[in-house]
Amino acid sequence: MNQTIPLHILNGQVMYDYFEKTRYLEGERMIPFNEAMCYGETCKDVFSDEFSKIRTDVHQVTREQYAEITEKPLQPLLNGNFTKLHLWFDTDMFCQINLLTLLAWLDQTDYTEAVELHIVEERFQPVEHYRVKADGYHELYQQVLIGKNMPDFIDLAPLQKGIKLYLDYRDPDSDLMRYIQDHKHLSEDELVSSLLENFKDYGLGDTQYYELIKTCKGYRPKEE
């Protein structure tokens, strides 16, 4: 096993493509984490066969597609083929719940080294840096993503904010769901564009917003 190369995990293909284009980490080994853990169900054993089956169903893709998009890029991580780990994540809810999932897996596998966490803004420029031990994050992951409960204490401020948004955003009284209810005069496409512009703290994409609109009781899209 080659254990001499640092590994940089980026939240998603868009960040990965941007770093490739700008050569931001030129010469370094980068992989994307292509998931949306803030949407849909999960299970206790992160990256297990059960996990992959659940997430395949959530994304409504084939098992082969999920393996190609999500699992294949993660192989250097899953194989332990690194000595130092760098995580690059935005402050929004989408990124922070993905971050929690990765930290939970590291805890689950008894990874004891400190992880370098780089918090970036929406244009992927670093704004904060933390050194994090993964200890305790698997329990936190279960409490939040499975139990849907707010922990008493969360050490990382961006993660604390992301978890709070995650636990609230599907509530009928959340700012997000109220906004959908209050803009029934818009078509689905117009509403999704407006949500993308006005709720950047959530980091959701158009696919998640279309699904949320469908679940919003009483919403009837404007006829085109």
Residues 150-175: tens digit of each pLDDT: 999 999 999 999 999 999 998 988 99
Burial class (CB in 10 A: 0-12, 13-18, 19+), 52: middle
Of 30-39, 40-49, 50-59, 210-219, which gets the smallest average pLDDT? 210-219
Range of the structural domain that residue 208 is part of: 169-215
Question: Same structural domain for residues 173 and 155?
Answer: no
Q: Would you place residue 185 in the very low, low, confident or very high pLDDT band (cuts 50, 70, 90)?
A: confident
Residue 145 lies in a domain: yes
Q: Is the pLDDT of residue 68 over 80?
A: yes
What would the pLDDT profile of 79-127 be if each residue is shown by its tens digit?
987 889 999 999 999 999 999 999 999 999 999 999 999 999 888 889 9
Q: Is the pLDDT of residue 70 over 70?
A: yes
Question: Same structural domain for residues 90 and 159?
Answer: yes
What pTM did the predictor assign? 0.92
Structure token pair of residue 100: 């929690």
Burial class (CB in 10 A: 0-12, 13-18, 19+), 153: exposed
Non-local (6+) Cβ contacts of 49 within 8 A are none
Question: Same structural domain for residues 31 and 119?
Answer: yes
- 96 vs 73: CA distance, rounded Å: 19
Asked if 110 and 133 touch (Cβ cutoff 8 Å), the reply is no
Question: Same structural domain for residues 197 and 102?
Answer: no
In this predicted model, which residue has the larger pLDDT, 208 or 129? 129
Residue 31 lies in a domain: yes
Of 130, 149, 166, the one marking the end of a domain is 166
Q: 85 forms bridges with which residues in the sheet?
A: 7
